[in-house]
């Protein structure tokens, strides 16, 4: 089961960038004598969690939009048996959804393909 705060998300959501995270940051520089200077450190926060690949109802999408519209908030995400404190990645479009069957007057039960862009903050 996948949850974001009290909201249950579809079980078929896929964490598409789970292994794209680089936990080590590195900077290299050459000195005037030609020696290589390397600095490394562990990343403290910011691991991306992009969830995609399943459908949600318009009613669920509206709840997610409300969560994503609040500035400076954190949320509890439970996925794959792990709990993460996350925030929305507003440097990108934090939430995107495309209607499965476009209609001019969608109802609460109409489906949308969902992508959520979050990041670990604690």
Tens of pLDDT, residue by residue over 101-119, are 999 999 999 999 999 999 9
- What CATH number corresponds to the domain at position 50? 2.40.30
Question: pLDDT tens digits, residue range 24-56?
Answer: 999 999 999 999 999 999 988 999 999 999 999
Predicted pLDDT at 96: 97
For the chain, the domain total comes to 1
Average pLDDT over residues 13-33: 95
Q: Residues 2, 13: contact at Cβ < 8 Å?
A: yes
Predicted pLDDT at 105: 94
- Domain residues for the domain of 15 are 2-120
Reading the block at residue 25, the tokens are 């940051």
* DSSP character string of 32-92: TTS-EEEEEEE--S--EEEEEEEEEEHHHHHHHHHHHTSTT--EEEEETTEEEEEEE-TTS
Predicted pLDDT at 32: 95
Question: pLDDT tens digits, residue range 49-97?
Answer: 999 999 999 999 999 999 999 999 999 999 999 999 999 999 999 999 9
Sequence-separated (6 or more) residues with CB below 8 Å from residue 97: 56, 61, 112, 113, 114, 115
Predicted pLDDT at 31: 94
């Amino acid at each position: 089961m996948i949850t974001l705060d009290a909201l249950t998300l579809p079980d078929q959501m896929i964490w598409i960038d789970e292994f794209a995270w680089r936990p080590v940051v590195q900077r290299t520089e050459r000195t005037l004598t030609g020696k290589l200077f390397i600095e490394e450190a562990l990343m403290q926060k910011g691991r991306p969690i992009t969830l995609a690949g399943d459908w949600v109802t318009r009613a669920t999408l509206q709840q997610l939009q409300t969560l994503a519209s609040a500035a400076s908030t954190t949320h509890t995400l439970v996925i794959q048996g792990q709990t993460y404190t996350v925030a929305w990645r507003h440097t990108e479009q934090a939430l995107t959804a495309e209607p499965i069957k476009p209609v001019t007057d969608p109802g609460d039960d109409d489906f949308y393909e969902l992508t959520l862009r979050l990041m670990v903050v604690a």
